[in-house]
Amino acid sequence: MTVDREALQATWNRTRGHLDEARAHLMGHPEIDLSATLEFLEHNELGLAFDCLVDIADDLDLPLAFWEHMDRAAREMGLYSHALHKPHLTAADLCRRHLAAASEQD
């Protein structure tokens, strides 16, 4: 099986862009430490960066735009389909819940 490295890199770049955009919404909160998320992004650990951002944002009242970027990242990584096979609540599940709640508020 051959891997289309250009397509894979394009997917990573789009995912990274969505995660960076979402992270920007958290930068205005000085009490939040984003260093772990940045480290994950620097090492191309996009799934871990996603989980970290959802964990940080779970208790915050963030705008719909944050959750839309997280939703796009989850879709790029195929996290929703992976979540269907896990018996526990995943970061992708939390993202979907927050996206739905934020959509209802706007």
Q: Which domain holds residue 31?
A: 5-105
Tokens of 80: 């929703």
pLDDT in tens, 10-54: 999 999 999 999 999 999 888 999 999 999 999 999 999 999 999
What pTM, to 2 d.p., does this model score?
0.84
Contacts of 56 (CB under 8 A, 6+ apart): 26, 32, 34, 37
CA distance 50 to 7: 20
What is the total count of domains within the chain? 1
Q: What is the mean pLDDT of residues 52-80?
A: 92
Tokens of 83: 């979540």
C-alpha separations of 35 from 4, 22, 32, 53 in Å: 32, 14, 9, 11
The dihedrals phi and psi of 60, each to the nearest 5 degrees, come to -100, 155
CA distance 74 to 93: 10
